[in-house]
């Protein structure tokens, strides 16, 4: 009789431990998945920004750099499955004459940089993505942020 009572109590303890540990374990797994997704999206933004800047810098058509860059970045978005909405994407290009101006612009947005490509040999390509977590609840709300990448490219033409 006593053995039967101990066996029933150990089963109850096991089910209580399972009920307490399982939600914490699932939360940990979901946080890990969300963090991996954030790293993946960040890497994709790096690739998209560099490839778009490289593509546009080799183009001879000076009047339409902004549209070419936006089209290239928008065309690359469907390739990456976790970035599917181009409405969360903001693309900007400014042109600078000196390296110091480009560095100042990338650090604090200042400097002598212009939106016209004429007589400016450096282009600063900027891509911002409004990141929103996959699991939208209060635990992951701190992950909502803007991811931004800037690349300085020398125009070849």
Where does residue 9 fall: left (phi above 0), alpha (psi -120 to 50 degrees), or beta otherwise?
A: alpha
Assigned token pair, 50:
């560099």
End-to-end CA, the chain: 91
- Greatest extent of the chain over all pairs of C-alpha atoms, in Å: 94
Q: Kindly list the distances between the CA atom of residue 140 and the CA atoms of 15, 83, 97, 123, 137, in Å, as whole numbers in the listed order.
A: 28, 18, 42, 36, 6
Q: What is the DSSP letter of 114?
A: E
Instruction: Kindly indicate the confidence band of residue 25, based on its pLDDT and cuts at 50, 70 and 90.
Output: very high
The length of the chain in residues reads 157
What is the per-residue pLDDT across 71-127, written as a single tens digit (0 to 9) for each? 887 777 766 666 656 677 888 888 888 888 888 888 877 678 877 777 788 888 888
């Amino acid at each position: 009789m006593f053995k039967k009572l101990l066996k029933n109590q150990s089963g109850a303890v096991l089910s209580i431990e399972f009920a307490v540990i399982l939600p914490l374990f699932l939360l940990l797994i979901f946080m890990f998945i969300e963090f991996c997704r954030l790293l993946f999206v960040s890497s994709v933004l790096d690739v998209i920004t560099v490839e778009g800047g490289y593509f546009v810098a080799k183009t001879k058509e000076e009047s339409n750099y902004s549209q070419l860059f936006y089209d290239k970045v928008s065309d690359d978005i469907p390739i990456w499955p976790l970035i599917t909405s181009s409405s969360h994407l903001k693309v900007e290009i400014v042109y600078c004459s000196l390296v110091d101006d480009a560095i100042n612009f990338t650090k604090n947005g200042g400097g002598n940089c212009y939106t016209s490509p004429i007589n400016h040999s450096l282009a600063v390509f900027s891509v911002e993505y409004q990141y929103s977590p996959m699991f939208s609840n209060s635990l992951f709300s701190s992950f909502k942020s803007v991811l931004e990448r800037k690349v300085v490219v020398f125009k070849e033409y």
